[in-house]
Amino acid sequence: MFKNVFGSGFLVRTAHVILTWVITLILFLHDTDLRKQEESGELLKPVIFVLLVLVSVLLYFGVSLMDPGFVLSDPRDVQFTLGVTEEQQGMIPHTPKSLRLRRCGHCLLEQPMRSKHCQTCQHCVRRYDHHCPWIENCVGERNHRWFVLYLAVQLIVLVWGFHMAWSGFTHASTWQLWLRTNGVLLGAATFVAVLSLTVLLLLGSHLYLVSLNTTTWEFMSRSRISYLKHCGADENPFDRGTLHNLWSFFCVWGTVVWEKVYFREDDPM
């Protein structure tokens, strides 16, 4: 279920954790509201902040090390192929939207719908979204919701951290003296501000795509994906309405047979 913590991406993960706790330490060492509250014995907000940082780090490692939904066996090796029996497959009408099973040229496995081979991970991933260099892992069917949750928690921590950094700036008679006094805190605040904007854009884009029940790969490469080529420009065969899409994404666990959703218009039910 989880990858080796000392495997590929170890340096990236280590750098992430070090930067996280170094910036947290800077916020507590300078004259910020966090330090003032700590020194005055008002520990509620400092403790909550540290716990949020810890939760963000744990979520980062969870998403980074989790199996994103690797395709490890050929669907023909199990009782049901693509979630339906052979007899049912023969009953599926041939429509302009019909598709042939794709066999991965790298894994030599038949790919379930919405899966894609990742050149970095060297595996096909179910409901492939993208390969994220930040976590050194793919974002796919099994860890996508945790990735979105991680982004949400990380954004809260970053915005709060930027506010705390801003509260720690002290006045000085000259710019040179001000920079000497606040240089480290200014560097941390700038870094946090850039990360906050990045995470905000990532979180917003993922929530938008989730509400449409599409993935980053499908959104960016629509014209090159076999099962979407015959769909209209505004047609998404997996869209079941915004609320249903969000509910399914965040609250429904387990593997979805996307072929059934794709051919739902051919379903007599």
Residues designated catalytic: 132
> What is the Cα–Cα distance from 125 to 131, expressed in whole angstroms?
10
Selection from 74, 63, 104 nearest residue 226 by Cα: 104
Neighbours of 32 (CB within 10 A): 22
Helix, strand or coil, per DSSP, at residue 118? strand
Q: Who's near 265: CB < 8 A, 6+ residues apart? A: none
Q: Are 165 and 189 in contact (CB under 8 A)?
A: yes
Neighbours of 79 (CB within 10 A): 5
Neighbours of 108 (CB within 10 A): 8
